A and B are shown apart, each in its own frame.
Chain A
Amino acid sequence: GQNIDQPTEMTATEGAIVQINCTYQTSGFNGLFWYQQHAGEAPTFLSYNVLDGLEEKGRFSSFLSRSKGYSYLLLKELQMKDSASYLCAALDSNYQLIWGAGTKLIIKP
Chain B
Amino acid sequence: IAGITQAPTSQILAAGRRMTLRCTQDMRHNAMYWYRQDLGLGLRLIHYSNTAGTTGKGEVPDGYSVSRANTDDFPLTLASAVPSQTSVYFCASGSGSSTDTQYFGPGTRLTVL
**A-to-B contact residues, CB < 8 Å:** 4, 30-31, 33, 41-45, 48, 50, 87, 89, 91, 95-102
Contact = CB atoms under 8 A, between A and B. Distances in A.
Given A42-B107, A43-B90, A87-B43, A96 B99 contact: no
A30 B98 contact: yes
B42 interface: yes
B102 interface: yes
A15 to B, nearest CB: 29
Nearest to B44: A99
B53 interface: no
Contacts of B105: 42
Contacts, number: 44
B45 A97 contact: yes
Nearest to B106: A42
Contact of A98 (B42, B90, B104): B42
9 contacts: A4-B42, A30-B98, A42-B106, A42-B107, A87-B42, A89-B42, A95-B98, A101-B41, A101-B42
Contact of B101 (A4, A48, A50): A48
Contacts of B64: none
B1 to A, nearest CB: 15
Interface string B60-98: 000000000000000000000000000000100000001
Interface residues of B, number: 17
A31 B99 contact: yes
B99 A43 contact: no
A99 B103 contact: no
Nearest to B3: A42
A30 B99 contact: yes
A32 B73 CA distance: 28
A87 B44 CA distance: 12
B42 A100 contact: yes
Contacts of B106: 41-42
B104 A44 contact: yes
